[in-house]
């Protein structure tokens, strides 16, 4: 009998994922693998289905067909809180903090929600210092500048000590001068926490800097896989961007 290969316990596998809303196919037959500690970029024009894909992987939406696994465990169709408990955590394009609560309380709430030890905040100290959150420790989240609110929300996700991070346009709304914080955040997550990172992003400079491999979605189909330089020089990818559709926000509402 042929032995079944052992799958890495923390690898994320998407196998022939498809999603339709009524007769509208959002994406079809998408497959990829994210290895433990790896980094995979996801790019494509507006309306390509990127946010819907993250919603399915995280458990916010059910797939129409195909499956998603974390190691040997199938996770598509499971509730968001269940997948978060398994170490699969997502960010949002908008800020995701608790108004009326301080930076400190926001971070502590994230740790308690994930039933982690508060000592994780000590591990995050270099990142908190770099982002300027330490000097704002006792300020309410909603009074912080947008860039700081964004980095607080991302750091809260990391405070849950995830195995897989799904980052949905983390640079959205940031000033160009602030976008290097995303580089620092992703590097820290991989280096200090061993996170696998799935990065959906429109900032091609950021994608080129960070991602050894990207997949390209267009019209709901995976049209290219490879390094950023390889895929961004392909004619079909260039054509997809030049002919980009409606805003992705419409996709994100489903």
- Comparing 230 with 77, which gets the higher pLDDT? 230
Return the pLDDT at 242.
76
Q: Which residues of 14-38 are buried (b: 16+ CB within 10 A; e: fewer)?
A: bbebbbeeeeebbbbebebebebbb
Contact 232, 239 (CB under 8 A): no
Residue-wise pLDDT tens digits, 67-119: 999 999 999 989 999 999 999 999 877 777 999 999 999 999 999 988 889 99
DSSP 102: B
Confidence (pLDDT) at 206: 96
pLDDT score for 1:
42
pLDDT of residue 250: 41
Mean pLDDT of 216-232: 93
**By the 8 A CB rule, do 149 and 132 touch?**
no
Contact 11, 88 (CB under 8 A): no
Residue 38: per-residue pLDDT: 97
Q: What is the reported pLDDT for 157?
A: 95
pLDDT band at 24 (very low <50, low <70, confident <90, very high): confident
- Output the six-digit token pair for 63: 């797939």
**Residue 243 pLDDT:** 66
Beta strands (DSSP E) in the chain are 12-21, 24-34, 39-43, 65-70, 73-74, 88-90, 164-168, 196-200, 213-218, 221-226
Give the pLDDT of residue 241.
Answer: 85
What's the confidence (pLDDT) of residue 121? 96
pTM for the whole thing?
0.89
List, edge to edge, every strand of the sheet that includes 213-218: 88-90, 164-168, 196-200, 39-43, 213-218, 221-226
Whether 2 has a pLDDT exceeding 60, the answer reads: no
Q: What is the pLDDT of residues 138-184, one digit of tens each?
A: 999 999 999 999 999 999 999 999 999 999 999 999 999 999 999 99
Write down all domains in the chain, each with its CATH number in brackets. 36-243 (3.40.50.300)
Percent of residues, the chain, with pLDDT higher than 70: 92
Q: Is residue 244's pLDDT more than 70?
A: no
Q: What is the pLDDT of residue 248?
A: 43
Mean per-residue pLDDT for 190-211? 96
pLDDT value at position 253? Answer: 38
What number is the average pLDDT over the span 192-197? 96
């Amino acid at each position: 009998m042929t032995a079944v290969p052992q799958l890495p316990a923390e690898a994320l596998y998407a196998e022939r994922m498809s999603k339709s809303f009524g007769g509208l196919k959002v994406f079809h037959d998408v497959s990829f693998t994210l290895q433990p500690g790896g980094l995979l970029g996801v790019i494509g024009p507006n309306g390509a289905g990127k946010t819907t894909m993250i919603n399915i992987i995280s458990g916010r939406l059910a797939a129409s067909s195909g499956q998603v696994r974390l190691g040997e465990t199938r996770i598509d169709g499971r509730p968001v809180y269940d997948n978060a408990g398994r170490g699969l955590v997502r960010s949002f394009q908008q800020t995701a903090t608790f108004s009326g609560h301080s930076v400190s309380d926001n971070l502590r709430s994230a740790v308690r929600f994930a039933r982690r030890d508060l000592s994780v905040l000590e591990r995050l100290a270099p990142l908190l210092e770099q982002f300027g959150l330490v000097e704002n420790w006792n300020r309410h989240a909603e009074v912080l500048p947008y860039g700081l609110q964004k980095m607080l929300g991302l750091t809260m996700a990391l405070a849950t000590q995830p195995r897989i991070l799904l980052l949905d346009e983390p640079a959205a709304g940031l000033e160009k001068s602030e976008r290097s914080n995303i580089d620092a955040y992703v590097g820290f997550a991989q280096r200090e926490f061993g996170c696998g990172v799935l990065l959906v992003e429109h900032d091609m400079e950021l994608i080129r800097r960070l991602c050894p491999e990207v997949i390209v979605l267009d019209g709901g189909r995976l049209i290219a896989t490879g390094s950023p330089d390889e895929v961004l020089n392909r004619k079909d990818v260039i054509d997809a961007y030049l002919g980009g559709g409606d805003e992705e926000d419409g996709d994100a509402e489903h």
